[in-house]
Chain A
Amino acid sequence: MQITPEEISKVAHLARLELNQTEIAQMTDQVGTILAYIDKLNELDTTGVAPTTHALAINNAFRDDVVVPSLPQAEALRNGPKQNGEAFVVPKIIS
């Protein structure tokens, strides 16, 4: 399946990535080559085959609902690129 520069731009937007024209051209070429290789999967008939999303048969892992200490606020905020001691600060969302 061929991929176009327009599709790369659209997918980049969905992934919240900004690519310049050179990157788009290179990505179109490289991703196109990789997807062409991946088309190999279509050699196999998988009609009726159940998909595997997890290699071990693990069901829901429940635990008792017991409150335990969590990360203190100051430590949780410490790595924030911009914070005010109470919350992470981001550019204005609603103007």
Chain B
Amino acid sequence: MELYDQTIHQLHELLKTRQLSAVELTNQVLARLDQVEPQVGAFITECRELAMSQAQAADAMLAKGTGGPLCGIPLSIKDVLCTKGVRTTCGSKILEPFVPPYDATVITRLKEQGAVMVGKASMDEFAMGSANENCAYGIPKNPWNTAHICGGSSGGSAASVAAGECIASLGSDTGGSVRQPASHCGVVGMKPTYGRVSRFGLLAFASSLDQIGPLTKDVRDCALMLNSIGGYDPRDSTSVREPLPDFTASLSQDLRGMRIGIPKEYFGAGLDPEVRAAVDNGIALLRQAGAEAVEVSLPHTEYGIAAYYIIAPAEASSNLARYDGVKYGFRNQEANTLLEMYKTSRSQGFGPEVKRRIIIGTYALSSGYYDAYYKKASQVRTKIVEDYQKAFAACDALVSPVTPAPAWRIGAKADDPLSVYLSDALTICTNLAGLPAISLPCGFSTAGLPIGFQIQGPHFQEGNLLKIAYALEQAVGLSERRPALNGGQA
């Protein structure tokens, strides 16, 4: 297997024993990026020189024996995370010239551990989308079939991992934006518990829902990434002082004593039969590994999308008020008055989906509509939280599909935003309740597109999710399968 197709833990063994240098590995990954990027389009900004200097520094750490599991590992970083000195666009024209003067906390932690950043990955503008078709810098393609979407909003992160343009990536998940592209691209993606990972330096979309999470080639790598980025940060007042265990210690193939809940609402009409078959097979494999399956009900799941598409746009309309053409980003320099400057800078800088969500959010929060929309949605959110509490009284984790169907063709839903929103039905409630969840590959459609398996758990139970995911990964045996990109032509 080529170096770029290997995992963090495999490469760490080679790096640690000095059979491989970080410089050599980074060179190979950058060569792979050159080869396939014209087909995949996973990056907004590449940072080769920085990557090479970070690789040299990593080699120095490894030579001294101080390099941990992430030392010398080439990563892509979703362009939603501030990276000091490296342009951070959030997929938007309004931030085209923005070069952050500081690093996000997760970036600081990765740098301290000697990780290498090869570039900033493509995303839906301000993380608003489920197909990565809302990016101002082009649409990344699914490495398994480049006519199809790679999912969103962390689409570039998922595609770059699947295509071997990096070894792992960081994304962000507000309603499924790590898990859904991970599912569509056949990689592992985790949304940790709200508060588990610091959001300092994450460009805010919906602050009560956003969470940073890893995208990796296997479950062990996911555990290693979570070990590296998790933990309390005084700079994020919503980060929690919960102890951070070594998540690799959770990985086990023995699921005896584990109760997995099957929420019937996640297997309703509209679920693609191939997705259903792959997930059912995954559940059977978990039972063979010793898990006990119980049927549970989350009766308010069907209201998740409606509640989310009030709450998330409401929070976004407030968060995105900061893009006013004054402090950073794009300004219409022709404007003669302050009001004209605000309006024209924002209108020229934001794309259609972002404008649509700002309008919905502003409307929902405006005088006379607040109770009917925002308050109502927040009450429904309580009902969704209570559903989970009841379900977790009967089981340790919930298993389900990630998406109702495999990745659709690029452009197929271009004129119908509601139909795109509805594709998030199985991931969105997790964020409303602040729970951890993981997506991992469990099969392929007859057309060759990956199918994901989702596991959700109670707050701070990432260890159990990783344990179940690891057992399933071993049983399914797909973690070494890679897309057959031939390179060259787009």
Contacts and interface: CB of A to CB of B under 8 A. Distances in A.
Interface of A: 1, 3, 7-8, 11-12, 14-19, 23, 27, 30-31, 33-35, 37-38, 40-44, 46, 49-56, 58, 61, 63, 71, 75-76, 78-82, 88, 90-93
A86 B377 CA distance: 44
B9 interface: no
B97 A55 contact: no
Contacts of A91: 335-338, 340-341
A61 B352 CA distance: 37
28 contacts: A1-B372, A16-B346, A17-B343, A19-B355, A30-B418, A35-B360, A38-B309, A40-B303, A41-B307, A41-B310, A44-B303, A44-B380, A49-B383, A52-B378, A52-B382, A55-B433, A56-B193, A56-B240, A58-B240, A78-B101, A79-B101, A79-B327, A81-B325, A81-B333, A82-B331, A90-B338, A90-B341, A91-B341
Given A37-B306, A52-B381, 10 more contacts: A15-B317, A18-B347, A30-B356, A40-B306, A49-B379, A52-B378, A61-B237, A61-B238, A80-B327, A90-B341
Contacts of B379: 46, 49-52
Contacts of B306: 37-38, 40-41
A55 B208 contact: yes
B304 to A, nearest CB: 11
A16 B417 CA distance: 22
A41 B380 contact: yes
B189 interface: no
Contacts of A81: 97, 325-326, 328-331, 333
B377 A18 contact: no
Contacts of B300: 44
In terms of DSSP, what is the predominant structure of the interface of chain B? helix
A1 B306 CA distance: 14
Contacts of B10: none
A79 B99 contact: yes
Interface string B92-111: 00000111011000000000
B326 A63 contact: no
B375 A88 contact: no
Nearest to A15: B362
B359 A8 contact: yes
Central interface residue in A12, A18, A56, A79, by most chain B CB within 10 Å:
A56
Interface of B: 97-99, 101-102, 193-195, 208, 234, 237-238, 240, 300, 302-303, 305-307, 309-310, 317, 321, 324-331, 333, 335-344, 346-347, 350, 352, 355-356, 358-360, 362-363, 366, 372-373, 375-383, 385, 417-418, 421, 431-435, 459
B378 A31 contact: no
Contacts of B385: 52, 55
Nearest to B323: A16
Given A79-B329, A91-B341, A53 B309 contact: no
A27 B373 contact: no
A27 B201 CA distance: 32
Contact of B194 (A18, A42, A55, A63): A55
A1 B366 CA distance: 15
In terms of DSSP, what is the predominant structure of the interface of chain A? loop
Contacts, number: 168
A56 B335 CA distance: 44
A28 to B, nearest CB: 10
A20 B337 CA distance: 19
Contacts of B352: 23
Contacts of A61: 237-238
Nearest to B234: A63
Contacts of A58: 195, 237-238, 240
Contacts of B346: 15-18
Contacts of A11: 359, 362-363, 366
A9 B292 CA distance: 55
Contacts of A34: 309, 360, 417-418, 421
A33 B305 CA distance: 14
A65 to B, nearest CB: 13
Given A30-B417, A51-B379, A75-B101, A15 B360 contact: no
Contacts of A46: 376, 379-380, 382-383
A14 B363 CA distance: 9
Contacts of A52: 378-379, 381-382, 385, 432
B331 A17 contact: no
Contact of B101 (A14, A49, A71): A71
A1 B363 CA distance: 12
Contacts of A19: 347, 355
Contacts of B194: 55-56
B21 to A, nearest CB: 34
Contacts of A31: 356, 359-360, 363
A14 B317 CA distance: 10
Contacts of A1: 372
Contacts of B341: 90-91
The 5 A-B pairs with the shortest beta carbon distances in the complex, nearest first, are A55-B434, A51-B378, A81-B331, A79-B328, A61-B237
Nearest to B102: A71
A44 B301 CA distance: 12
